[in-house]
Amino acid sequence: MAEAIDDEVDGIAKLGPKFAAIHIDKKLKVSLQLAKKHVNLLLHRLLDTNDDTDCVVWYRYLVAAGNEFYDFKSEVLKYDDASRCGLVWTANFVAYRCRTCGVTPCMSICSDCFHNSDHTGHDFNMFRSHAGGACDCGDVHAMRHTGFCSNHVPGKRSVQKPPSHLLAMAELVVPRIVYHFVLRLRKLCQPERNGSYKLTEVMKEQYTQVSQLLDDLSKMGGAMKHVICQSLCNPENYKILSSTEDLAVLPNDDKKKFKESSIDEYYAALLTLPTPSIPEILQDCPGLSQILVHTSFLQEIMFWMVKYEFPEKIITFLLSLLTDVEYKASS
């Protein structure tokens, strides 16, 4: 049985990214389980190569069900239900702050939102951001709705749900992209003598392509952000993809070894975290448990962010997802 599926996946791989994606998308309309199996086996093969350029081409076609990525993006953007701007910026970006509209003193908005809203007679200023930030326009927890720009006033965005099949392939493939990204973070870890981890330029190049793809996906608006956030936060995804549970379906030993070794690297990195000794009387407090257990990709990514001393690109990506209400609540 395993061999038959393997032969089938061989045939699909030979179609190339675009036609393989169209083929699997057709299967998906008939059987979710079969399409999932094909996607997983196909993507396991891709992980074997060290060339992420090739993987990214495959991912882009698969997510878009064989359509051109940018055509797919404009289709998905029609269902952007995010009512907040959420634009993320890095150091030296020029932003605005309005004390009359702000509910919190650190409220800030991007210049587009500022110029599209009316702050006449308000106590506002323009500033150059030192550490980076995100636009609060549209967020009632950060500012009064009277200061929202015309694009982010409540009720402006369509609440229409995307057609059920539009994101069906993305729902299968995005968890795999997140998994690929986490594997790269694990594989790249080369502890220095003092136990800290540094991302060298060569390493950055290796993970940048997959993180750039995740960033491109997050720019498809609220509907796609929701799929990404589900992939990041869903404990089931993490359990199945990051454990050895699905190894049984893998047809060859190399892939098993690859996956097992990446798990070893993750555990080795976990052990390098300094753990303070806990007084005996507090040993039973769950929050003080010395064994760190991650239950979602987001948690493991946060762990690597600390290890790698907060790489800007990934932090920006994670912040850009904060317009997703469920994600904001769980992070």
Q: Answer yes or no whether residue 147 interacts with Zn ion by CB under 5 A.
A: yes
Q: Decide whether 113 or 169 has the Cβ nearer to Zn ion.
A: 113
d(CA 232, CA 170): 13
Q: Does 104 bind Zn ion (CB under 5 A)?
A: no
Q: How far is the CB of 152 from Zn ion (least distance, A)?
A: 4
Of 88-96, 112-120, 172-180, 248-256, the window that binds Zn ion (rule: CB under 5 A) is 112-120
CA separation, residue 263 to residues 49, 183, 209, 289 (Å): 18, 9, 22, 21
Contact 309, 302 (CB under 8 A): no
> Letter for the amino acid at 246?
D
Residue in 113, 169, 314, 319 binding Zn ion, rule: CB under 5 A: 113
What are the backbone dihedrals phi and psi of residue 18, each rounded to the nearest 5 degrees, phi first?
-65, -50
For the bound state, the minimum distance from the C-beta of residue 218 to Zn ion, rounded and expressed in Å, comes to: 15
- State yes or no: residue 20 binds Zn ion (CB under 5 A): no
Burial 130-144 (b: 16+ CB within 10 A, else e): eebbbbbbbbeebbe
The correct pick among 101, 173, 189, 301 for binding Zn ion (CB under 5 A) is 101
Q: Are 76 and 166 in contact (CB under 8 A)?
A: yes
The CA–CA distances, whole Å, from 184 to 114, 207, 242, 287 equal 39, 6, 13, 29
137 binds Zn ion (CB under 5 A): yes
- Using CB under 5 A, pick the residue from 87, 107, 269, 322 that binds Zn ion: 87
- Binding residues for Zn ion, how many (CB under 5 A)? 14
Q: Where are the alpha helices (DSSP H) in 108-234?
A: 111-115, 168-187, 201-218, 222-233
Q: What is the dihedral of CA 186, 191, 195, 197, to 10 degrees?
A: -70
Which one, 152 or 225, has the nearer CB to Zn ion? Answer: 152
Of 23-31, 109-117, 171-179, 309-317, which segment contacts Zn ion by CB under 5 A?
Answer: 109-117
Contacts with Zn ion, 302-321, as mask; x by CB under 5 A: --------------------
Residue 82 interacts with Zn ion (CB under 5 A)? no
- Which one among 39, 62, 107, 135 touches Zn ion, defined by CB under 5 A? 135
Q: Which is nearer to Zn ion, 120 or 194 (CB)?
A: 120
Q: Which residues of the chain form contacts with Zn ion (CB under 5 A)?
A: 85, 87, 98, 100-101, 110, 113, 119, 122, 135, 137, 147, 149, 152
